[in-house]
Amino acid sequence: MTILVTGGAGYIGTHTAVQLLEAGYDIVVIDNFHNSHIEAIERVKRITGKEFPLIKADINDQSALEAIFQQHKIKAVIHFAGLKAVGESNQIPLAYYRTNVAGTVGLCEVMERHNCNTLVFSSSATVYGNPEQVPIPESSKTSATNPYGRSKLMVEEILADTQRSRPDFWNITLLRYFNPIGAHPSGQIGEDPNDIPNNLLPYVAQVATGKLRQVNVFGNDYNTPDGTGVRDYIHVMDLSAGHLKALEHLQNTGSGFHIFNLGTGRGVSVLEIIEKFREISGQPIPYKIAPRRPGDVATCYADPTKAQKVLGWNTQYGLEDMIKHTWNWQKQNPNGYRS
């Protein structure tokens, strides 16, 4: 069975590609390498010992998508391709709406033309805005405070409308990711941010190698046990495994619309992360308390019960593994895929 993986050269896409190939699926990858490197694809091939077609094209390139569906019998699509930097989305919102929203609409149009009904979409816990309760169940109120978050919410609604329009045809799952961190245990693939990282883990990892001087802890006056922000960090291997479970579930259901949180259900603070990283890496991690980052919430962690019950998905990796594997990747690849 052939799965189209959009954005398959990216952080989550590469880890999922490895697991799909290892599970015996065939894959086709489309990526324009806006935020990734061809070397990531080479490493997926090296880890799995398998070859697969790679199409270097924009998700908005309808003729490229048409050609893929004509040449391959695509059974399902896992749609990772998108832009994901919250700050940048305020500067260039149209690029975010073009790629994330229009790109998904165009993809669904081509899928429909080729009678391909099965889609797994990368959504985000960002759609819960400032959560009204923790742990957060899927039924929580949604909202967005920036163009990135709005693009995810818009796509969620567009996909719900699309499925409602042909309920016996479309088979769609939205996965709301919490905070993916970690890397493949081999250290061959991992997160490779361009420029200075926005997210906590890659930032801390680069402080540990001495590439960055110190971590800025964005606020220590939140209503949390140590005053710093609490998040639900999930190993990228567990997150990727959730996509295979979602795919199996869609194959069993035939048609429908489903939403699942992918998180561990456990909240961890910024200071806990720094301390754990220091312990595991054996490196000093200097930090200073900085002002709160606009748009940040105090606490965000999942209620993952639905994915556990319905998908039979459970996390396998703990915080130690997440940090150990992040460090392993960072040490082996101090300059990411350019190393």
State the catalytic residues: 148
Binds 58: which of ligand NAD, ligand UD1, none (CB < 5-8 Å by kind)? ligand NAD
- How many CA atoms are closer than 13 Å to the CA of 144, on its beta-carbon side? 20
Q: Could you say whether residue 156 binds ligand NAD (CB under 6 A)?
A: no
Closest distance of CB 6 from ligand NAD, Å = 6
Q: Which of 285, 5, 194, 29 is nearest to 118 (CA)?
A: 5
Q: Could you say whether residue 28 binds ligand NAD (CB under 6 A)?
A: no
CB 279 within 8 A of CB 195: no
How far apart, in Å, are the Cα atoms of 12 and each of 161, 168, 180, 252, 338?
26, 30, 8, 24, 18
Q: Which two tokens stand for residue 214?
A: 């110190």
Site string for ligand NAD, 43-82 (x = CB under 6 A): ---------------xxx-------------------xxx
Binds 119: which of ligand UD1, ligand NAD, none (CB < 5-8 Å by kind)? none
Nearest to ligand UD1 of 54, 268 (CB atom): 268
Nearest to ligand UD1 of 55, 270 (CB atom): 270
SS3 of 189, please? coil
Binds 25: which of ligand NAD, ligand UD1, none (CB < 5-8 Å by kind)? none
Angle at 170 between CA 164 and CA 174, to 5 degrees: 85
Q: How many H helices and E strands in the chain?
A: 12, 14
Nearest to ligand NAD of 5, 285 (CB atom): 5
Binds 9: which of ligand NAD, ligand UD1, none (CB < 5-8 Å by kind)? ligand NAD
Positions 170 through 199 that interact with ligand NAD (CB under 6 A): 177, 180
d(CA 221, CA 209): 28
CB 94 within 8 A of CB 83: no
Q: Which two tokens stand for residue 30?
A: 């489309």
Closest distance of CB 190 from ligand NAD, Å = 10
Nearest to ligand UD1 of 167, 294 (CB atom): 294
Nearest to ligand UD1 of 117, 206 (CB atom): 206
Q: Interacting stretch for ligand NAD, rule CB under 6 A, among 33-41, 215-223, 250-258, 310-318?
A: 33-41
Closest distance of CB 86 from ligand UD1, Å = 4
> Which segments of the chain does DSSP mark as H helices, in order?
11-22, 38-48, 62-71, 86-91, 93-96, 103-113, 147-165, 200-208, 236-253, 270-281, 305-306, 319-332
Binds 231: which of ligand NAD, ligand UD1, none (CB < 5-8 Å by kind)? ligand UD1
Q: Could you say whether residue 103 binds ligand NAD (CB under 6 A)?
A: yes
DSSP 236-251: HHHHHHHHHHHHHHHH
Q: Under the rule (CB under 6 A), what is the footprint of ligand UD1? A: 84, 86, 124, 126, 148-149, 179, 198-200, 203, 215-218, 229, 231, 270, 293, 295-296
- 């639900």: which residue's tokens? 232
SS3 of 257, please? strand
Binds 209: which of ligand NAD, ligand UD1, none (CB < 5-8 Å by kind)? none
How far apart, in Å, are the Cα atoms of 289 and each of 91, 286, 295?
26, 11, 17
Please identify the residue of the shown chain whose CB is closest to the bound ligand UD1: 229
Please identify the residue of the shown chain whose CB is closest to the bound ligand NAD: 10
Q: Could you say whether residue 36 binds ligand NAD (CB under 6 A)?
A: yes
- 């080729």: which residue's tokens? 114
Closest distance of CB 32 from ligand NAD, Å = 4
- Note the residues at the interface with ligand NAD (CB under 6 A): 7, 9-13, 31-36, 58-60, 80-84, 99, 103, 122, 124, 177, 180
